[in-house]
Amino acid sequence: MSGKGGLLHERINSMTICGDRGFNIGNFGDCTSRFMRYLCRVLCAIFLLAGCGKQSNINDDAITFCSESNPTYFNPQLDTSSTTADASAHQLYDRLLEFNPTDGRIERGLASSWLVSNDGLTYTFQLQRDVAFHQTDYFTPTRTFNADDVIFSINRWRLASHPYHEVNGGNYPYFDSLGLDKTIKDVKRINGYRVEITLYTPDSSFLANLATDFSVILSQEYAQNLLEIGTPSKIDYYPIGTGPFKFSVYKQNQYIRYIRHPDYFLPTTGAEHLIFDITPKPSLRMAKLITGECDAIAFTSQSDLAVISERDDLTLLEKPGLNIGFWAFNTSKAPFDDPKVRRALVLAVDKTSLLEAVFLGQATRAKSLIPSASWAYQSDAPELGYNPVRARELLDEAGLPDSFTMDIWAMPVQRAYNPNAMKMAQLIKSYLNEIGITLNIISYDWNIFRENLTLGMHDSVLIGWNADNGDPDNFYRPLLTCDAIPSGTNRAMWCNKDFDALVQQALLTDNFEKRKQIYKQANELLFAQMPLMPIAHAYQYQALRSDITGMEINPFGGIGFDNVERMP
């Protein structure tokens, strides 16, 4: 017995143990019986063999991205959450127009050129030629992209009578919140590669809206096929688009796989495979980034930013964000319909401590909705300070009972505009305790959370908004106008006629100065009514491994992997 044991012993010592970490076998010598000692050697041999070498990626041209939760559909038209946008907008589809990520100007996308009539009512688009759709195992396109696809994509959400309008729920939150279906009069097909869109009233933000992540171009031929087979709902679960990647397979709560679209009409240097590894916990995403199982991760938590910048194998991209994190009160519910109560709640909370504790100083203080990065930023906007005594007086004036309980809904997921809503809720809870209000914190799974929010079951909610285009209207209309309530983007359920009038009026002129004046009046109205407490405009971060290039932060929404590759 010992003979064999001895032989193995030498073989272990002579074997080159990977890495320089010498492993002293000697300390296992104290197992007394020969069999025991032999057992120990075999065990540590197995363990050592397995521990060989750092994680080496066999399949080199594959990029793994750790996303934070499951997309509801693979079509951003149907859902405003950034998870769906990340998973589909820039990967699977293209848009008529695109934003330049650096300066926000509008560039050409599928539309090679466009013409705006001087009365601002008709827009004509000249389309790109020979743009191929995806060829997958569930659909093979016979023709390339043309005007029919554009008309199909727009009419789907515009016309209630469209065969595909009711498919998969039939609500299009982004477009409903902007009321775009009321502004577009008609979409005409001039010829195979030219489309003309006429509006009822001029809308200076229309072009910007066509470039957002939500206005993607679907395949009309694929839709036709599905209608014939009788499974129209598959269009949003098994997507077909013109984007840089094709959809391969999706396993809920686990992963999404994409394969490169070989004949994509733009030259890209992206990887052959793209994998979204769904990891809900931020600390788990961070760990996977460190061990190299993920090449890039979504929404790093604020506390880890310092750790990333210290490590040399990780890089951190940073950009001032076009977003707003706020604490919205459900104005449709008593007592939050009384502005006094809302002002008292805002006065009772110290915004600076929230910024320090939750954003760890990596965010700018929000006075009103518009962040400093936008041209419509109003630096001298009025703001309520921290004054608990005044808050208590206001509450007594409003006739609120001494021991008043309310709930606050905290988002379970991480977002740039609010990296840790749960923690912020706990801080607010201790502040409200001081003025005699008990606050209970409620949280659900992200999709259920948003469903219940649209139903208005909440008293107040900690949430925020990511801009989709540089236009300030993209903050005011979806967040606070009456149309936005049914679509679920107006979390404060606040409907104020003269506020809507102001926002509508701002759209009519595209002269920046005049629009700034109108938005100034809107800010004063908001300050008086205070339907929500603006908290912060956070910087946007993107953490990734150092050997990944071609990735940049797009302030206007979803992440794109078309030019992302791994340096050898």
Q: CB–CB of 436/402 below 8 Å?
A: yes
In the bound state with another protein, the residue whose beta carbon lies nearer, of 51 and 192, is 51
CB 12, min distance to another protein, A = 17
CB of 443 to another protein, least distance (A): 9
Task: Classify residue 346 by burial, with Cβ atoms within 10 Å: 0-12, 13-18, 19+.
Answer: buried
User: How far is CA 428 from each of CA 263, 336, 362, 492, rounded to the nearest angstrom?
Assistant: 53, 17, 19, 18
Task: Look up residue 440 and give its amino acid.
Answer: N
Closer residue to another protein, CB minimum distance, 51 or 382: 51
In the complex, minimum distance from the CB of residue 43 to another protein, in angstroms, rounded to a whole number: 8
Q: Which is nearer to another protein, 28 or 377 (CB)?
A: 28
* Six-digit token string for 304: 């880890």
Nearest approach, Cβ of 189 to another protein (angstroms)? 33
Name 324's bridge partners. Answer: 465
Residue among 2 and 112 whose Cβ is closer to another protein: 2
Closest by Cα among 283, 288, 322 to 303: 283
**Sign of torsion, CA 307 310 316 318?**
positive
Residue among 559, 371, 560 nearest 474 (CA): 371
CB of 215 to another protein, least distance (A): 26
Residue 333 or 429 having the CB closest to another protein: 429
Closest CA to 368 of 489, 536, 490: 536
Nearest distance in Å: CB 407, another protein: 12
* Pairing assessment for the beta strands 122-127 and 111-116 based on DSSP bridges: antiparallel
Closer residue to another protein (CB): 107 or 356: 356
If the CB atoms of residues 152 and 417 are measured against another protein, the closer one turns out to be: 417
Find the shortest distance in angstroms from Cβ 281 to another protein. Answer: 6
- The number of angstroms, rounded, from the C-alpha of 78 to the middle of its chain's C-alpha atoms is 14
Cα gap 568→566, rounded to integer Å: 6
Whether the bond between 262 and the residue before it is cis, its omega within 30 degrees of 0, is no
Minimum distance from residue 98 beta carbon to another protein (Å): 30
Cβ proximity to another protein: between 138 and 512 the closer is 138
Kindly tell me which of 348 and 506 has the beta carbon lying closer to another protein. Answer: 348
Per-residue tokens: 431: 């502040």
Which residue in 256, 264, 244, 227 sits closest to 139, CA to CA?
227
Residues that bind another protein (CB under 8 A): 30-33, 35-36, 39, 43, 47, 50-51, 54-55, 57-59, 62, 64, 70, 251-255, 257, 273, 275, 277, 279, 281-284, 286-288, 290-293, 301, 303-304, 306-307, 353, 356-357, 420, 422-423, 426-427, 430, 440-441, 444-445, 447-448
Least distance CB 24 / another protein (angstroms): 16
- Closest to another protein by CB, 327 vs 475, is 327
Q: Where are the beta strands (DSSP E) in 94-153?
A: 97-99, 106-108, 111-116, 122-127
Residue 419 CB, nearest approach to another protein (Å): 9
Return the ∠ at Cα 157 (arms to 92 and 241), rounded to 5°. Answer: 15
Tokens of 49: 């063999």
Listed in sequence order, the residues at least 6 apart from 306 whose beta carbon sits closer than 8 Å to its beta carbon are none
